[in-house]
Chains A and B, each alone.
Chain A
Amino acid sequence: MKKFFGIAALAAMLALVFTVFVLSQDSKEEKVEVTITAKIGQPAPNFKLSSATGKEHSLSDYKGKWVVLEWINLQCPFVLKHYNSKNMQTLQQTYTKKEVVWLSICSSAPGKQGNFSGEELTAKIKEVSSNSTAYLIDGDGKVGHTYGAKTTPHMFIVDPKGVLVYAGAIDDKSSTKIEDVKGAANFVAAALDAGLANKEIKVSSTVSYGCSVKY
Chain B
Amino acid sequence: MKLPSRKKNNVRLSMLYLLTALFLSGNSVQAKPVQAGHVEVELISENSSIAPGEPFWVAIRLRMDDDWHINWSNPGDFGLAPTIVWQLPAGFTAGEIEWPVPERLIFSPFVGYGYEGEKILPVKISPPKSVLSGSEIRIEAAADWVVCGEVCIPGGAKLSLQLNVVESSPLPDKNWAHFFDSFRKAAPQVDSSYRVISKLTENALYISVARNSSDKMQIDSLIFYPEFNGLIKNAASQKLSKDESGYVLKIERDPLGVSPPERLKGIMVLRKNNDSKTIKTNFKFDVLLEKK
Contact = CB atoms under 8 A, between A and B. Distances in A.
Given A25-B238, A212-B107, A207 B258 contact: yes
Interface string B236-253: 111111111000100000
B274 interface: no
A78 B80 CA distance: 10
A150 B77 CA distance: 7
B87 to A, nearest CB: 18
B17 interface: no
Given A148-B255, A168-B258, A176-B154, A18 B241 contact: no
Interface in A132-153: 145, 148, 150-151
A23 B122 CA distance: 35
Contacts of B152: 76-78, 211-212
A29 B103 CA distance: 13
Contacts of A31: 108
B237 A210 contact: no
Contact of B109 (A23, A209, A215): A215
A211 B151 contact: yes
A174 interface: yes
B106 A29 contact: yes
Interface in B240-284: 240-244, 248, 255-259
Interface string B96-133: 00000000001111111000000000000000000000
A21 B153 contact: no
A32 interface: yes
Nearest to A75: B151
A100 interface: no
Interface string B62-82: 000000000000010111100
Contact of A205 (B78, B240, B242, B259): B259
Contacts of B238: 25
Interface string B203-245: 0000000000000000011110000011000011111111110
Nearest to A176: B154
A148 B144 CA distance: 28
B56 to A, nearest CB: 29
B150 interface: yes
A206 B256 CA distance: 8
B161 interface: no
A127 interface: no
A206 B230 CA distance: 8
Contacts of A210: 78
Contacts of B196: none
Contacts of A18: 244
B24 to A, nearest CB: 36
A168 B111 CA distance: 17
B39 interface: no
A177 B248 CA distance: 41
Contacts of A78: 152
Contacts of A150: 77-78, 110
Given A31-B108, A176-B146, A212 B256 contact: no
Interface size class of A (residues with CB under 8 A): 35 or more
A212 B110 contact: yes
Contacts of A112: 150
B221 A25 contact: yes
Interface in B135-165: 144, 146, 148, 150-154
B103 to A, nearest CB: 12
Interface in B146-194: 146, 148, 150-154
A151 B77 CA distance: 7
Contacts of B248: 20
Contact of B230 (A176, A207, A214): A207
B157 to A, nearest CB: 14
A39 B237 CA distance: 21
A21 B255 contact: no
B258 A20 contact: no
A38 interface: yes
20 contacts: A20-B242, A21-B241, A23-B240, A25-B240, A30-B237, A36-B255, A76-B152, A113-B150, A145-B109, A168-B256, A174-B80, A176-B80, A177-B144, A177-B154, A211-B148, A212-B79, A212-B148, A212-B152, A214-B151, A215-B109
Interface of A: 18, 20-23, 25-26, 29-34, 36, 38-40, 75-78, 112-113, 145, 148, 150-151, 167-168, 174-177, 205-207, 209-212, 214-215
Given A30-B111, A112-B150, A113-B150, 10 more contacts: A20-B241, A20-B248, A23-B241, A23-B242, A25-B220, A32-B235, A36-B256, A77-B154, A212-B110, A215-B109
